[in-house]
Copies of this chain bind each other. A is one copy, B any other.
Amino acid sequence: MGEVYAVIMAGGRGERFWPLSTDEVPKPFVSLLGEKTLLQQAVARLQPLVPLERILISIGEAQRHVAAEQLPILPPDNFIVEPVGRDTAACLGYCALHLEARSPDCTMLALPADHFVADGAAYRRTIEEGIRSLEGATGIIFGIRPDRPETGYGYIQAGKPAASGRSRPVIRFVEKPDLATAGEYLMSGDYFWNSGIFLWRNAALLALIEEHMPEIYRALCRLRPLIRLPDAAQERLRIFESLPRISIDYGVLEKASGLSMVPAGFNWDDIGNWAALERALPTDARGNVTVGPARLLDASGCITCTDTGVVAAFGVSDLVIVQARGRVLVCSKERAPALKHLVSELTADQK
């Protein structure tokens, strides 16, 4: 099935972790969990499995500088700059063109750059299990066994495991459920969180796009001869701008047959917003999580983060308190998932 290439999707907006993340420095490029940024952690996690020359990073034009700065170990050609953001279907189709030019017979491991995985070895074992299971499947989705009735994720309903190995047939994709339904999913044992980590032969992905999103496929065919042309940036942009904003899940995977799911053997969190930090980082006796210098008195259930001086909290509870890039955010933990409503109201120069 050819060499495995990893495509790390590192574009995106900076709303969910504002003001630490911004459109110029989105979540994958910030150090939320440890000294390395989430993107650097993702590369380091893959490196024992996939050599650096086969790790590609998909970014937006705005992140070109910060990406090269954070990953000097990667060949410059390995940064694939999307002409404009059009969600994951267009993004992965565009990356498939780049891989096809390098190695027509290769396999693509596609993953978001901004996940938190504590155990890199278990992560790599799961990916290897996926590689073994790919033979005979249209593609592999890595599924996370739920440990709470999460309403913020999409789910995958999986069938019984195959006799050999741990992979299961994908029965269906399910959109974010309400709390009662999420509870049923949790109990049933057949529902898994969709991790957004996929594995498929590169040519199979292009075939899936051709079958289920012919509009995108036609655009990819027009892009194919242009991807390396230095003078074609305007034309690439023009074609890309015409593409629908649609995810690979919704546009392709939900309609595809023959997909398999491999359950993840590692702890995973998508760290979707500030409040998620309390799942990924240690808390003090009163349930507070601090990143950077902090001084808390009569404070409980708070999450503080600072990129410079101390953050002090006194007589407060269940708040997210962030000081970053000279700005301050104070948000109830409950409202943290809706932070984009606030950020979108900030004028450009205040962002």
Which residues of A approach B to under 8 Å, CB–CB? 18-19, 293, 295, 297-298, 306, 308-316, 319, 321, 323, 325-332, 334-335, 338-339, 341-343, 345-346, 350
Q: Which of A313, A314, A330 counts the most chain B CB atoms within 10 A?
A: A330
Instruction: Provide the bound-state CA to CA distance between A115 and B314, in Å.
Output: 25
Instruction: Provide the bound-state CA to CA distance between A346 and B312, in Å.
Output: 9
A155 to chain B, nearest CB (A): 28
Instruction: Provide the bound-state CA to CA distance between A350 and B321, in Å.
Output: 17
6 nearest A-B pairs in the assembled complex, by CB-CB distance: A315-B335, A309-B326, A315-B332, A309-B327, A314-B331, A314-B342
A131 to chain B, nearest CB (A): 43
Known: A309-B325, A309-B326, A325-B309. A332 touches B345 (CB 8 A): no
Instruction: Provide the bound-state CA to CA distance between A268 and B337, in Å.
Output: 43
A300 to chain B, nearest CB (A): 12
Q: Which of A293, A327, A345, A350 counts the most chain B CB atoms within 10 A?
A: A327
**Contact A350 B313, beta carbon cutoff 8 Å:** no
A152 to chain B, nearest CB (A): 17
A307 to chain B, nearest CB (A): 10
**Contact B314 A321, beta carbon cutoff 8 Å:** no
Instruction: Provide the bound-state CA to CA distance between A312 and B322, in Å.
Output: 10
**Contact A330 B314, beta carbon cutoff 8 Å:** yes
A293 contact set on B, CB distance < 8 A: 350
A332 contact set on B, CB distance < 8 A: 314-316
A316 to chain B, nearest CB (A): 5
**Contact B328 A306, beta carbon cutoff 8 Å:** yes
**Contact B329 A314, beta carbon cutoff 8 Å:** yes
A328 contact set on B, CB distance < 8 A: 306, 309-312, 321, 323, 328
Q: Out of B308, B311, B325, B331, name the residue touching A315 (CB < 8 Å).
A: B331
A339 to chain B, nearest CB (A): 7
Known: A313-B331, A331-B314, A335-B315. A295 touches B342 (CB 8 A): yes
Q: Which of A308, A315, A332 counts the most chain B CB atoms within 10 A?
A: A315
A339 contact set on B, CB distance < 8 A: 314
**Contact B314 A346, beta carbon cutoff 8 Å:** no
Q: List 30 A-B contacts (CB under 8 A).
A: A18-B312, A19-B312, A293-B350, A295-B342, A295-B345, A295-B346, A295-B350, A297-B342, A298-B335, A309-B325, A309-B326, A309-B327, A310-B328, A311-B330, A312-B328, A312-B342, A313-B330, A313-B331, A314-B338, A314-B342, A315-B331, A315-B335, A316-B330, A316-B331, A319-B319, A319-B330, A321-B330, A323-B323, A323-B328, A328-B328
